[in-house]
Structure 1
Amino acid sequence: DPDALAASAGLRPVGSGRVACPFGYADGASALRGLLSTGAFDEAVRATDPSQVEKEIEEALAPYVRPDGTVWMPNVFRYVLTRTP
């Protein structure tokens, strides 16, 4: 909960919300490159065969591939506005 996190840091939440922020890619290859470029999979790539990591990501993306080949993953960005005490 962003509001609770901000409050625990000594800030006073004055507003919060959610914004739709989907991840959209032209195709599976673009999605794979985009996700690998985030660094979120670096440790997995170091720990195992990079082709295995790519295979796992491709399998995880399968439900998000549209009939035209684009990849569309819904995502919600949560934010909180605060003031200092």
Structure 2
Amino acid sequence: MATKFLDADGLKYAVSKIKTLIAAKQNKLTFDSKPTSGSTNPVTSGGVYDAINNGITLSVKPYAWSSTWIEVPTEDMYVGGTEPTAEHTIWLEVSE
């Protein structure tokens, strides 16, 4: 089997064709601005960020013996620096 090499003009032509194919494929993609049930489209980075940070709430009790639950958006939550104990496996605090 003989080995074939492209000369400079042939390489430029091949690269040009590859770029054209990539551009044509990219233009056919449709992006969703937020995650959508049943969609097969990719989601934009901002849509993923917003869904995680603004679309989820966490129910917390203000103290252990409370019968009241407070809905807190995840954008207002952070994991505190307190070391977990037998009573508190993870420490969550509401930011002010």
What TM-score results when the alignment is normalised by the length of structure 1?
Answer: 0.20
The structure whose residues are more often strand, as a share, is 1
What TM-score results when the alignment is normalised by the length of structure 2?
Answer: 0.19
- The structure with the larger Rg is 2
Q: Which has the higher contact order (CA 8 A, sep 6+)?
A: 1
